[in-house]
Amino acid sequence: MRGFLVCSALICTVGLSAFATAQYSQDQLDVKPSGIALRVGGYAPFDSDTQHVGRWFYGLGADYTFPTQLLPGSQTFFSFEWLAKSFNGNHNSVFPVMLNQRFAAGKGLLGDHSYWFAGIGAVIFDVGSSKTVFGGRAGIGTEFKQDWFCELCGYISERDSGSGARMDGAALWLGYRF
């Protein structure tokens, strides 16, 4: 009797899954389900204490867009960036970690559409000693060539009590959405 129930449950499961997959058509399938984007760019600090470290920082960034949205009509995404004076592993790096919202702004200058975004989170300074402060970012972007995008982003943060540096500055990013 137990074997009959297990076999019946298995047949019902297979049958229901066949009905579920039949409900999707080719145009409903998300061909980019990962929600991941990678960026490369540069950061220019406005704060004089941060400029003593360097007038220009290299940048690497990653975004993860959540499948659900925090605010209706927008996209919620998590961003992590590494802004460094050099890639040799020395100090003098800044790591903004933010929760962001992206809002559509219409047709873009270079392609498919433009958008604006804003976020808040933590900024980790690795300048001398490591400190974490509150920060924010906002910017505009445009998508072009299907999965490529370009963003201009402004940053602001509290002052790092150890080095006196702030994250106040701007970055230009070029990215690809997977």
Residue 3, in any domain of the structure? no
Residue 18, in any domain of the structure? no
| Residue 118 identity | A
CATH of the domain at 67: 2.40.160.20
Residue 61, in any domain of the structure? yes
Q: Which is nearest to 99 in space by CA: 131, 136, 55?
A: 136
Alpha helices in 23-155 (DSSP H): 48-51
Residue 168, in any domain of the structure? yes
Distance CA 62, CA 78 (A): 8
- Each of the 178 residues of the chain gets a pLDDT tens digit; together they read 444 444 444 444 444 444 433 444 444 444 456 899 999 999 999 988 777 778 899 999 999 999 988 999 899 999 999 999 877 766 788 899 999 999 988 775 655 689 999 999 999 988 767 789 999 999 999 988 788 999 999 999 998 887 788 889 999 999 999 9
Q: Which two tokens stand for residue 146?
A: 């299907």
- Up-side HSE of residue 59: CA atoms within 13 Å toward CB? 28
Sign of the four-CA dihedral 143, 169, 39, 130? negative
| Residue 113 identity | H
Other beta carbons within 10 Å of 37: 22
Residue 4, in any domain of the structure? no
Is the pTM of the predicted complex or chain greater than 0.85? no
Per-residue pLDDT, 111: 58
Number of domains in the chain: 1
Residue 83, in any domain of the structure? yes
Q: Which domain holds residue 51?
A: 34-177
